[in-house]
Structure 1
Amino acid sequence: MTFTVNCSILLTELPLLERPAAARAAGFDAVEFWWPFVSSVPGDAEVTRFERAITDAGVQLTGLNFNAGDMPGGDRGLVSWPGREAEFRDNADVVAGIGGRLGCTLFNALYGNRQDGHTPEFQDNLAVENLAAAAAAVGRIGGTVLLEPVSNAPYYPLRRAADALDVIGRVQRETGAGNVRLLADFYHLAVNGDDVDAVIEAHAADFGHIQIADAPGRGAPGTGNLPLERWIGRSRELGYAGRVGLEYTAAGESAFDWARRQPDWHVR
C-alpha cells in the first residue's frame, strides 16, 4: 500500500500503543511516529513495549522522529539547540537501535527553534555537526535522516524547501554525509507559501519522504483545496518511489473515509 499512518497525530482517541493495531484494522500495513517517549533515552522496558505494539499489530514501522523536545510546549527539535548536543546524540543511538530491530530506515530530525542568547550562525554550525552525527548513527543500519520545513512555528527557521535543502547541501559538503534528505510535507510547504509544483519538478526524485494533509485546516485529503493527488502522482512520475505519510488531524471513526471513497487515486 502507498500510505503509512502517522500514529502520533491520527487515532489519538486511543492510547498510543493501541494505535498500530487500529491502523491495521483500518486496512493499512505501515505506520510512522513522532518520538513516542517522554525522554530522549527511555528505559529498555518502555522501548520493548513500543516495539511489541508494532510487531504484534503486524505493521511495518516506516518512519520515526528523533526526540523534538516538548512539542505541546512549542519545542520543534534539538538539532540546533545549544546545550543539548549530548542528549541529541544519545537519542540518535536509541533511534538507530529501534530502527535496526524493526527494519525502519527513515528518521525525521526537526531542526529546532531559534534560541535566545545564541546567534543563528552558532546554531546553524551546531546543526551541521548534529545532523552529521545523526546520519552516522542511522547510517549503520542503512538509514536516512530527514529534514523538514515546518509551519505555524514562528521561531523555526526552515520554512520552505530551499531552507532545508541549503542545510542538507552544507552537511554533505562539509561532512560528507550523503544520507540526509528532504522530507516534503506538502501541507507545511503549501501553508508557508512555497511553490509546491516547482519543488516537485526540481527535487521529487530526491525526496526522502512525503507527508500530506489538506489545507486549510490540516485535515484529511478532500477537506481543503490542495491538489494532493496531482502532487503525489507527479512526484511518482519524476522518480519518488517511497510511501506517503498521512499526517493530518481527523476523528478516529471517519479518519480514513476519503481513502475508502477513492481507493485508487493514491496509487496512480
Structure 2
Amino acid sequence: MNDVTAAAQHRFTVNLSILFGELPLLERPAAAAAAGFAAAELWWPFGENHTPGAEELDGLVGAFEAAGVQLTGLNFLDDLARGARGTLSLPAESERFRENIPVAVHLAERLGTGALNALYGNRVAGVDPAAQDALALENLVLAAHAAHSIGAILLVETLNAVESPEYPLVSAAAAIDVVDKVNAATGLGNAKFLCDLYHLARNGEDPAAVITAYADRIGHVQIADTPNRNEPGTGELDFEDLFARLTAAGYQGRIGLEYRPAGGVSAESFDWLPRELRGAR
C-alpha cells in the first residue's frame, strides 16, 4: 500500500499465536517489541491445558513484562491445538471452559488485558443445535460477568465456513445476534463483536458494509488479506479503504494483525506498516 494515511488513524497489535510462531512462545513478546510493537494478543496460549499452574502463568507474564509489551487481547480456552473452534457450546467440554474462565481472567488482569475472546464452538453430530446454543448463552453470560469484574469486554467472533464448516457463526449477523442476547441476559453491555475482516471476506460478505451496519457493536478488529491469510497487500482487500471506513464509523479501538507471513518470516512481513505506526499511542 502506498498511502498510509488511513492506517495512521489506528493503533495496531500483533497476534503472537500466528505471527512469530516460528519462535518459542516466551520469546515472542521480545520479538514483537524488536519489530516496534507495544501491544500484542494471544489465542489461548497453553494448548489443551485449561488450568495451567502458577509457574507457567508467571513465565508468560514475565515474558511480556520484560519485553515491555502489553497483552491487549486473550482467548478463553479455544482448543485450537486439537483442531476445535471453541469449547463453550460443547456439552462434553463445557466444564473445562467454565474452569478456564477464572484462570484466563486472572491472567488478563495481571497483564492489563481489556478484551477476552470466546470462540463459540463447532456443531456436534447428534446434539440438538438449540441445546448447544442454550449452553453457549449460559457460558457466555458467565464469561461476560467475569470479564466485567476486571473492566474487560467479551468478544464474540465470526469465522468462515470455508475453513470452519461446522462453526455456526459464519456471518456478521449471526455473531451480532449472540452479542445482543448476551447483553440482554447480563445487562452489562460488555459483549462486543470481533470484526475479523479476513473471515468476513472469506464468507463472501462485504467488510465495508459490515463496518457500516455494526460499527456501534464492534469491540475489536482483526485483519489478514484474502484469500491466503497473509499480510495486507498480498491479496484482494483494500485496507486503506477499510481503515478509512473504520475511522469514519467512529471506531477507536485496536486493529489486530492476525495473518501468516507470506514469506514465512514474521519480522519481514511488516513493510506495509511503517514502524512509527506500530506502537501504541
What's the TM-score, normalizing by structure 1? 0.94
Structure 1 outlier segments of 4+, above 4 Å: 263-267
Q: Note if 1:26 corresponds to 2:38.
A: no
CA contact (8 A) 1:187 1:212 kept: yes
- Asked if the contact 2:20–2:28 (Cα under 8 Å) also holds between the matched residues in 1, the reply is yes
Paired residues for 1:204-215 under 5 Å: 204-215=215-226
Would the alpha carbon gap of residues 10 and 48 (structure 1) be closer, same or farther in structure 2, given more than 3 Å must change?
A: same
Residue matched to 2:240: 229
Match of 1:14 in 2: 23
Residue 217 of structure 1 is matched in structure 2 by 228
In structure 1, C-alpha distance between the alignment counterparts of 2:234 and 2:223, rounded to whole Å: 12
Q: How many Å apart are 1:206 and its aligned residue?
A: 2.5
Assess, with a 3 A threshold, how the Cα gap between structure 1 residues 186 and 37 changes in structure 2: closer, same or farther: same
- Cα distance, 1:72–1:146 mapped onto 2, change above 3 Å: same
Instruction: Tell me how far apart the structure 2 counterparts of residues 206 and 185 of structure 1 sit (CA, whole Å).
Output: 13
2:158 matched to 1:144? no
Q: Which residue of 2 aligns with 1:182?
A: 193
Q: Distance in 2 between matches of 1:140 and 1:149?
A: 25
Determine the C-alpha separation between the residues in 1 that align with 2:168 and 2:250. Answer: 28
Paired with 1:187 and 1:241, the residues of 2 have a C-alpha distance of 19
Report the Cα offset of residue 184 of structure 1. Answer: 0.2
Looking at both structures, which has the greater relative contact order when contacts are Cα pairs under 8 Å and sequence separation is at least 6? Answer: 2
Rounded Cα–Cα distance in structure 1 between residues aligned with 2:44 and 2:81? 13
Which letter does structure 1 place at the counterpart of 2:130? E
- For 2:279 and 2:76, locate their aligned partners in 1 and report how far apart those are by CA, in whole Å: 28
Superposed, 1:160-199 pairs within 5 Å as 160-199=171-210
Match of residue 252, structure 1, among 248, 266, 277:
266
Q: Is the 2:36–2:279 contact (alpha carbons within 8 Å) kept by the matching residues of 1? A: no
- The alpha-carbon distance between structure 1 residues 100 and 73, as it changes in their structure 2 partners (threshold 3 A), is closer
Give a deviation string over 1:128-169, Cα, whole Å, max 9, x none. 000000001111000111010112101001001101011111
Superposed displacement of residue 266, structure 1: 11
Q: AA paired with 1:252?
A: S
Report deviation, 1:196: 1.4
Which residue number in structure 2 is paired with residue 115 of structure 1? 124
| Aligned mates of 1:215, 1:159 — CA distance in 2 | 16
Shift of 1:236: 1.7
Partner deviation per Cα, 1:72-106 (whole Å, 9 max, x = no partner): 43200011111322221221101110111111010
Which residue identity is paired with 1:129? E
- What is residue 154 of structure 1 aligned with on the other side? 165
Residue among 65, 70, 73 paired with 1:63: 73
CA distance in 1, matches of 2:70, 2:92: 34
Q: Which amino acid aligns with 1:159?
A: V
2:114 paired with 1:105: yes
Q: 1:73 aligns with which of 82, 91, 94?
A: 82
Residue type matched to 2:92 in 1?
Answer: G
Give percent identity, aligned residues only. 50
- In structure 1, the residue matched to 2:56 is 46
d(CA) in 2 for partners of 1:185 and 1:83?
28
Q: Tell me: CA distance 1:10–1:264, structure 2 relative to 1, closer, same or farther (3 Å).
A: closer
Tell me, yes or no, if the aligned pair for 2:35 and 2:267 is still in contact at 8 Å.
no
Match of 2:144 in 1: 135
Number of residue equivalences? 265
